Structure 1
Amino acid sequence: MRHFLILLFAAISLNLQAQRPQGPGEKSITLTGTVLDQDTGRPLEYATLVLQKVGEPSNVTGGITDIDGKFNVTTEPGRYNIRVEYISYLPYTLDNQLLRQSRDLGEIRMAINAQELDAVEVVGERTTVEVRLDKKIYNIGKDLTNSGATISDALNNVPSVTVDVEGAISLRGNENVRILINGKPSALAGFGSTEALQQLPADAIERVEVITSPSARYDAEGTAGILNIVLRKEKTLGFNGSVNTYIGVPVNSGITANGNIRTDAFNLFSTLGYRYRDAPGNGYFDNSYTSGSFDRIIEDRDINRLNRGLNWNIGMEYFLNDQSSLTGSFFYRLGNDDDQTDNNTTRFVGSEIDSRTLRQELESEDDRSYQWSLNYTNNFNDDGHKLTADVQIGRDREDVATVIEERTTFPQDGLVALENVAQEENSNEYLIQADYVLPMGESQFEAGFRFDLEEEITSFRLDSLDRASGQFVVNELLTNTFTYNEDVYAAYTQYGSKIGKFSFLLGLRLENTRLRGELESEFDPTALEEELGVDVDVNFDKNYLGLFPTVNLIYEIGENENISLGYNRRINRPRGWFINPFPSRDSRTNVFQGNPDLNPAFSNTFDLGYLKRWDKLTFNTSVYYQRETDSFERIQESTGQTTTDGIDIIRSIPINLSTNQRYGGEASILFNPSRKFRINSSFNIFRFVNEGFFNGVDYGAENTSWFARLGSKVTLPAAIEWQTNAFYFGPRQNAITDTKGIFSLNLAFSKDIIEDNGTITLNVNDFFNSRKRRSFTETEFFTSDSEFQWRQRSVTFSFIYRFNEQKKRNAGRGGNGNFDDDGEFEGGSGS
């Protein structure tokens, strides 16, 4: 901390000296102008103006542009070479200019440095990644394989990100990732869950920001980093929009409409979509036991999920005056799912079949999410002096009704168990935040606060059939209501500047986390205390106060080359289902149980990156190291209990098991040799080392794994575009489970029709039907050889029609340089 404050003080001192006013008698002139993108007219923020005195190469002054692309530089009269620079753009030069008095250079329009492309292709086919000080921005909307896909599908095509067969999202192989929507926690992301992302359409996304070294502006949640999903909001004047319809096999159909009306007084935008999707899957588990009534049990699962969803987002930005605006938006999501899982089980004693059973689960789930957002923005001047304030209220309710019937089918037919499960989960969120930005010449100061209050109330009731009386009886020990509150109060400040070719962003965030749990049940926690070996308080109130420093540095070696270094400290807070002490009812023999004694985990991460861009090739790489303490691990152990028919019950429970160290490196290459061919690839290798004991068992593990992507886009005859995305995740293991590698291949073909206002696309997801998780688990009491497939291969045909909207969108193109759309200091480069 001492070194951090010294560096911050030194940077501020240098900046104040650079802004020293002219003394008495000193003559000065002012040079003004505006730097814009040549094609779109969009202001280029933080473009650099360099004034080099003719005949005195070491006499260099200059400045940078503000949020509106304007610069205002004071210097002494003389003859100068004037140069405006912005990474990814061709420089603008005016040589040997005699400046005797103040001068307005007017509008300076800069062009992308891509001479082989014409203007339309520059906009539409610009590199899909922009590299900033603390993040990479991927404009995934142009990915053909996303047509008819969900947000989860789209994320699986983003470098550094993986989505497993069950929808769990990882960043660099680490699942402790924070999901934000438009920079904030959101009901769209299910308050920390990823289920909603498997329902929402991918074409609602404008871009995805992969933030592996978050600045202090972002909340400290997520030890792996942050994925910020930015939804579409057109900024073009007039009316524009699009309608996208699709149909596929297995059944996958839907329609999404986007509309936007913008005038000088307001901007009205809306997205409305409906989805109907069948997601068949399957699973196979071959389990062997060292104790219990059976030596081997084989489970063969057939899974069918029918998902129906409606989502609607509407909002309006009203321009109060030239400096300020007020934006209000409302989001609504309605889901109605019907799932059926048939589990055929064969039980062996020795090598002989003892019995067969069929367990059938019929689950009906109704989801309703609401979110109201209000944003106020005030641009005090044209120099980027800015204040934003946000209020957000979210509601989410899930009602799940499940009927579980298990019966023997061999040697005779008979009822084993019949249960009715009713579960209701209500989530409420209140968010208030404000951010203040103060430019100071080539530097910028920021400060802000955020209050994020979340509450999850889960009610669970289990009714079991009493075969003696033929009546359903409430299981009082498992029936419960669990209320979990997570309140986070945070304040931050950060300072960024650019000194020559060196940019830095230093920040400090203070967060207080309060975790509260309250249980209403006949449940006796004594048994859980004995199993965990600690005192368990199911009614708890915990507070954690922490400082989270961030450091992001970048040095521009050349116009198209830079190196970056980032450091951050982060927290991983347990979610409600990790805390709830009641076992799941997904299986009688394999249950998941939360741990109310779970505490947050903390991590420190370092990231060193390098970027080099040539005319047709972009290379980006980084190495990273992370050390996490009290990391969550899900262990499996025998409960010591058996079912009524003599099967050992295995439990999975999360604990603060270990210290986790993770080393890794990643690299990506984008090659665009011509307008008709484009190839991109990425490779990530990581190694983790876990150290921890529980109940006398060593769960320490070391493992090295990797994943890679290869994508290509080719223009065929008749202007047909062909895109291929291949992905492979290598084998990996932890203390008890070995998982085999997974390969998948997606193909897509598209063609523009109706004078390029329409596009038809054929998309094949998982062409070889190989996206399956195969794993082997071994403990002292059982082994399990399993294969699981969440969804089988699918084929989708889609048609999109655009109204007054270019096919080659400029969404997310940016050119924002050192400040993003929210005025955040970036200091990086596009590529």
Structure 2
Amino acid sequence: MKLLLPITLLLLTQFNLSAQRTQEQNPIKITGIVVEQDTGQPLEYATLVLQSVDDPSKVTGGITDETGKYEVETLPGKYNVSIEYIGYKTYRLSNQTLNKSINLGTIRLNPDVSQLEGIEVVAEKTTVEVRLDKKVYNIGKDLTTSGANVSDALNNVPSVTVDVDGAISLRGNENVRILINGKPSAMAGFGSTDALRQLPADAIEKVEVITSPSARYDAEGTAGILNIILRKEKTLGFNGSINTTIGHPTSSQISSNLNLRTDKFNLFNTLGYSYRTSPGNAFFDNTYTSGDYDRIFEDRDITRKDKAFNANLGMEYFLTEKSSITASVFGRFSDESDLTENESKRYEGTTVTNETFRTEDQSEDDKSYQVSLNYTNNFNDEGHKLTSDFQYSYDVEDILTTIVENNTIPDTNLLARENIYQDETENEYLFQVDYVLPMGDAQFEAGYRGSFEQSVTDYQLDTLNQNTALFTTNLDLTNKFSYDENVNAFYSQYGNKYGKFSFLLGLRLENTQLKGKVASEYDEAALQEVLGSEIDLNFDKNYLGLFPTVNLILELSEMESISLGYNRRINRPRGRYINPFPSRSSRTNVFQGNPDLDPAYANAFDLGYLKRWKKLTLTSSIYYQKETNSFERIQEETGELTSDGINIIRSLPINLSSNQRIGAEAGILYSPTKWLRLNGSFNFFQFETEGVFNDVDYGAKNTSWFSRFSSKVSLPSDIDWQTNVFYRGPSENSQTESKSITFVSLAFSKDVFGDNGTLSFNVSDVFNSAKRRSYTETEFFTSESEFQWRRRQFTLGLVYRFNQPKGKSKQKGQQRNDDDGGDEF
């Protein structure tokens, strides 16, 4: 909220100084500092108002920076001086004769008791800030995130949904770019969000929902960007916190966040260990138009065990008062095992003629490392600065999957045994330079970003030969695929404000190189015959694109604004989507990438409205997006059968001609009384796809919506109670209908140990209803399915803080060189 309040300045009518200025009159400067009365904390974006006594219609002024300082230029004269900051009593100096430059010194503002009830909403609950290119949701005291992970916390952010598989969507679109502290990170995984399930939710300070990204950001992600800002400790001295949780089904976690800050350096360290089991289940009811069986019913029981350790160590060293260098090293090590037991019943007509039992045992050893280096030079206190970043990330995954399938009816015998070996390594180098030059109310930015990533997937399938009792390698599927994605980008943008109107215009130039290479024991001619003559085994593609951005805000009043945004985005295919070798999750289902995939491009428009009252905040928007060359994952029959007569089905990503999405969303933050706080959001959209592939029309039109509601009640004995409800309506694409989903979470908390600790208890998915249900229909088969990632969860947690009591204020002088996009996590 703080960042929006100072835009009061935009409501002040501009002083027409030129008409009154004479040769004898020279401008003077009014300077000073604004802080909070009790704590001495600098108040950023407090507003200084200078009103002419002789002509009250003439008003000028300025706002404070992050250190509470202001500097305003005006003509000599007699003024009424006031300093305003919402939630605080206005400071006034009347009939002041200002004939020369003057420093008004340190001005201390007292809280306005009449507004404290409204202010408490800001301190206790998630709030929203609307900026030119994004919405910022400050994660407040959200009880349901205690003991949860980052993915769980994101599911409480408006516009964002996380499905039962962990896939993150923004306004119903899964093509969203995930950043940590403004950069791609090993903490978020590479093209996967699994790692977010291993990071504690209380590590989040705020989430930036960037549906209309400015030119400063990578153009990747047609849905937009989610930038997760992790907490940074800025208080002088040694401080930290320890967080521990235990739950059922088994879910235990302990993490620490330690910080040592002096005037010369800031040393920070984060450690975390977690162990959890996530029992799940699924069923699939499939019918076929060909093959030996008319219907196959699968009942799956899933058991997961995840152990993970992560550590981050870094130091920020202050070279001068205005420059610093920050270095950090991050590591994550996880050991995961998934056991899926699948009982299948196979029908001829209505009679069960065969039953099988299959176990799929998958173990995954994952190691991620990341080294980051940042240099920041603030040339002055007005925002003139230069930053440069270097980041190297390395990730390696070793996966072994053993599949054993036995006949149980009519006979008991081994049907098949397979071992799948999959090694994936990724290396990524990131170089980035950003320059910011303020020019009064205007600001100019320019920069370069280079991202160079290589991934190598080594896949081998061994099948047991029951005649020889030896495993033989299936050369049709065994391969090694290397994929390079190199992106060089330059950008510049310019922003300014005129009275009530602000704008930010930007242009980004990106060159994308996509390279793929296949290595196999097959000779190239034989391999081409296996995969298909249309498949390009080795490719090197280049794409050059311009990505303009326009973001506008009109301040209707201090508490009301309208925004309009336009941006062009790109969706680059990831390695798995273009790897031409099939891989399979079972003997009857294979996934094959498509190296002919080209990037998709999207043009998006967003019209937003914000209105604040004393106890209520309303945010709303209408959006439209048109995407060309869009990706669609289809299923088709391969024409092949397994040894026991089951059709083998292939999933394949393709470029469809286009899709478009139009929708509207609204969010409300409301605190009718001191003991009750309500938070709700609603998103409605229509999605339409057009395209034909292999003479099959995959066009579809779908209308869906999702909403969430949260209430927080303060009970006697200082106990807080929070309830979260989420609902997502039914949706469909060209082949699959997904049914609605509803789930509820409850949480309770109480501060202990003199407010140094917080004890919490929560229940995730109270009614055990978070299940994905879908129905797929093609010309050759239908499939009705239900999948539950994790059953209802009970969690008990304790957070203990030392030298940073709950609700502490930042200490004076601690604001130096702290930036949301930094590497302090």
Query: Partner residue of 1:782?
Result: 781
Give matches, 1:254-265, under 5 Å. Answer: 254-265=253-264
User: CA separation in 2, counterparts of 1:55 and 1:302?
Assistant: 81
User: CA separation in 2, counterparts of 1:113 and 1:160?
Assistant: 34
User: CA separation in 2, counterparts of 1:615 and 1:698?
Assistant: 53
- Asked if 2 retains the 8 angstrom alpha-carbon contact of 1:68 and 1:383, the reply is no
- Asked if 1 retains the 8 angstrom alpha-carbon contact of 2:229 and 2:821, the reply is no
Query: Partner residue of 1:247?
Result: 246
Letter of the 2:338 partner, please give it: D
Query: Partner residue of 1:313?
Result: 312
Identity %: 64
Query: Partner residue of 1:415?
Result: 414
Q: Go from structure 1 to structure 2 and tell me whether the alpha carbon gap of 1:821 and 1:179 turns closer, same or farther (over 3 Å shift).
A: closer
- Asked if 1 retains the 8 angstrom alpha-carbon contact of 2:126 and 2:141, the reply is no
User: CA separation in 1, counterparts of 2:38 and 2:573?
Assistant: 47
User: CA separation in 2, counterparts of 1:806 and 1:344?
Assistant: 54
- Asked if 2 retains the 8 angstrom alpha-carbon contact of 1:271 and 1:314, the reply is yes
User: CA separation in 2, counterparts of 1:104 and 1:714?
Assistant: 46
Q: Go from structure 1 to structure 2 and tell me whether the alpha carbon gap of 1:221 and 1:38 turns closer, same or farther (over 3 Å shift).
A: farther
Query: Partner residue of 1:149?
Result: 148
Q: Go from structure 1 to structure 2 and tell me whether the alpha carbon gap of 1:581 and 1:230 turns closer, same or farther (over 3 Å shift).
A: same
**Structure 1 residues 334-379: Cα deviation after superposition (integer angstroms, max 9, x where no partner):** 0001110011111001111110011111111100001111111111
Letter of the 2:103 partner, please give it: D
User: CA separation in 1, counterparts of 2:216 and 2:609?
Assistant: 24
Q: Go from structure 1 to structure 2 and tell me whether the alpha carbon gap of 1:45 and 1:517 turns closer, same or farther (over 3 Å shift).
A: farther
User: CA separation in 2, counterparts of 1:605 and 1:113?
Assistant: 42
Give matches, 1:526-605, under 5 Å. Answer: 535-605=534-604
> Is residue 119 of structure 2 the alignment partner of residue 117 of structure 1?
no
Q: What's the secondary structure of 1:188's corresponding residue?
A: helix
User: CA separation in 2, counterparts of 1:162 and 1:524?
Assistant: 46
Give matches, 1:286-685, under 5 Å. Answer: 286-522=285-521, 535-685=534-684
- Asked if 1 retains the 8 angstrom alpha-carbon contact of 2:87 and 2:115, the reply is no
Q: Go from structure 1 to structure 2 and tell me whether the alpha carbon gap of 1:237 and 1:477 turns closer, same or farther (over 3 Å shift).
A: same
User: CA separation in 2, counterparts of 1:136 and 1:508?
Assistant: 21
TM-superposed deviation, 1:575: 1.0
Letter of the 1:258 partner, please give it: N
Letter of the 2:800 partner, please give it: Y
Q: Go from structure 1 to structure 2 and tell me whether the alpha carbon gap of 1:697 and 1:534 turns closer, same or farther (over 3 Å shift).
A: farther
- Asked if 2 retains the 8 angstrom alpha-carbon contact of 1:124 and 1:807, the reply is no
Letter of the 2:719 partner, please give it: I
**Structure 1 residues 180-204: Cα deviation after superposition (integer angstroms, max 9, x where no partner):** 0110011111122111112222122
TM-superposed deviation, 1:504: 1.0
Give matches, 1:646-795, under 5 Å. Answer: 646-795=645-794
User: CA separation in 2, counterparts of 1:21 and 1:789?
Assistant: 73
Select between 534-543 and 43-52 the one with higher mean Cα deviation.
43-52
User: CA separation in 1, counterparts of 2:737 and 2:460?
Assistant: 36
Q: What's the secondary structure of 2:585's corresponding residue?
A: coil
Query: Partner residue of 1:102?
Result: 101
TM-superposed deviation, 1:40: 5.9
Q: Go from structure 1 to structure 2 and tell me whether the alpha carbon gap of 1:639 and 1:718 turns closer, same or farther (over 3 Å shift).
A: same
Letter of the 2:595 partner, please give it: P
TM-superposed deviation, 1:735: 1.4
TM-superposed deviation, 1:121: 4.3
TM-superposed deviation, 1:64: 4.0
- Asked if 2 retains the 8 angstrom alpha-carbon contact of 1:239 and 1:261, the reply is yes
**Structure 1 residues 205-231: Cα deviation after superposition (integer angstroms, max 9, x where no partner):** 221111111111111111101001111
Q: Go from structure 1 to structure 2 and tell me whether the alpha carbon gap of 1:697 and 1:120 turns closer, same or farther (over 3 Å shift).
A: closer
TM-superposed deviation, 1:274: 0.4
TM-superposed deviation, 1:542: 0.7
User: CA separation in 2, counterparts of 1:232 and 1:350?
Assistant: 60
- Asked if 1 retains the 8 angstrom alpha-carbon contact of 2:428 and 2:454, the reply is yes
Q: Go from structure 1 to structure 2 and tell me whether the alpha carbon gap of 1:378 and 1:805 turns closer, same or farther (over 3 Å shift).
A: same
Query: Partner residue of 1:797?
Result: 796
- Asked if 2 retains the 8 angstrom alpha-carbon contact of 1:461 and 1:474, the reply is yes
What RMSD in Å do the two structures reach over aligned CA positions? Answer: 2.5
Select between 531-540 and 760-769 the one with higher mean Cα deviation.
531-540
- Asked if 1 retains the 8 angstrom alpha-carbon contact of 2:124 and 2:140, the reply is no
Q: Go from structure 1 to structure 2 and tell me whether the alpha carbon gap of 1:590 and 1:477 turns closer, same or farther (over 3 Å shift).
A: closer
Q: Go from structure 1 to structure 2 and tell me whether the alpha carbon gap of 1:44 and 1:576 turns closer, same or farther (over 3 Å shift).
A: farther
TM-superposed deviation, 1:544: 0.8
TM-superposed deviation, 1:392: 0.6
Q: What's the secondary structure of 1:586's corresponding residue?
A: strand
User: CA separation in 1, counterparts of 2:468 and 2:247?
Assistant: 48
TM-superposed deviation, 1:73: 2.1
- Asked if 1 retains the 8 angstrom alpha-carbon contact of 2:748 and 2:761, the reply is yes
- Asked if 1 retains the 8 angstrom alpha-carbon contact of 2:383 and 2:437, the reply is yes
TM-superposed deviation, 1:737: 1.2
User: CA separation in 1, counterparts of 2:659 and 2:112?
Assistant: 43
Select between 360-369 and 379-388 the one with higher mean Cα deviation.
379-388
User: CA separation in 2, counterparts of 1:86 and 1:524?
Assistant: 73
Q: Go from structure 1 to structure 2 and tell me whether the alpha carbon gap of 1:180 and 1:527 turns closer, same or farther (over 3 Å shift).
A: farther
User: CA separation in 1, counterparts of 2:809 and 2:591?
Assistant: 46
**Structure 1 residues 362-418: Cα deviation after superposition (integer angstroms, max 9, x where no partner):** 111100001111111111112221111111111111000111111111100111111
- Asked if 2 retains the 8 angstrom alpha-carbon contact of 1:62 and 1:73, the reply is yes
User: CA separation in 1, counterparts of 2:358 and 2:17?
Assistant: 74
Q: What's the secondary structure of 1:384's corresponding residue?
A: coil
TM-superposed deviation, 1:710: 0.4
TM-superposed deviation, 1:759: 1.3
User: CA separation in 1, counterparts of 2:386 and 2:161?
Assistant: 36
Query: Partner residue of 1:194?
Result: 193
User: CA separation in 2, counterparts of 1:264 and 1:410?
Assistant: 75
TM-superposed deviation, 1:159: 0.8
User: CA separation in 1, counterparts of 2:88 and 2:600?
Assistant: 43
TM-superposed deviation, 1:26: 3.2
User: CA separation in 2, counterparts of 1:243 and 1:100?
Assistant: 56
User: CA separation in 1, counterparts of 2:112 and 2:586?
Assistant: 59
- Asked if 1 retains the 8 angstrom alpha-carbon contact of 2:485 and 2:513, the reply is yes
TM-superposed deviation, 1:238: 1.2
TM-score by length of 1: 0.92
User: CA separation in 2, counterparts of 1:78 and 1:620?
Assistant: 42
TM-superposed deviation, 1:535: 3.2
- Asked if 2 retains the 8 angstrom alpha-carbon contact of 1:269 and 1:315, the reply is yes
Q: What's the secondary structure of 1:234's corresponding residue?
A: coil
Select between 577-586 and 384-393 the one with higher mean Cα deviation.
577-586
Q: What's the secondary structure of 1:422's corresponding residue?
A: strand
User: CA separation in 1, counterparts of 2:261 and 2:131?
Assistant: 30
User: CA separation in 1, counterparts of 2:699 and 2:807?
Assistant: 51
TM-superposed deviation, 1:126: 5.5
TM-superposed deviation, 1:587: 1.2
TM-superposed deviation, 1:67: 4.7
Q: Go from structure 1 to structure 2 and tell me whether the alpha carbon gap of 1:810 and 1:241 turns closer, same or farther (over 3 Å shift).
A: same
TM-superposed deviation, 1:664: 0.6
Letter of the 2:256 partner, please give it: A
- Asked if 1 retains the 8 angstrom alpha-carbon contact of 2:670 and 2:679, the reply is yes
Q: Go from structure 1 to structure 2 and tell me whether the alpha carbon gap of 1:112 and 1:209 turns closer, same or farther (over 3 Å shift).
A: farther
TM-superposed deviation, 1:39: 6.5
Q: Go from structure 1 to structure 2 and tell me whether the alpha carbon gap of 1:74 and 1:402 turns closer, same or farther (over 3 Å shift).
A: same
Give matches, 1:32-47, under 5 Å. Answer: 32-36=31-35, 41-45=40-44, 47=46
Letter of the 2:367 partner, please give it: R
TM-superposed deviation, 1:144: 0.8
Question: How many residues are paired up?
Answer: 802
Letter of the 2:584 partner, please give it: R
Q: Go from structure 1 to structure 2 and tell me whether the alpha carbon gap of 1:87 and 1:450 turns closer, same or farther (over 3 Å shift).
A: farther
Q: What's the secondary structure of 2:153's corresponding residue?
A: helix
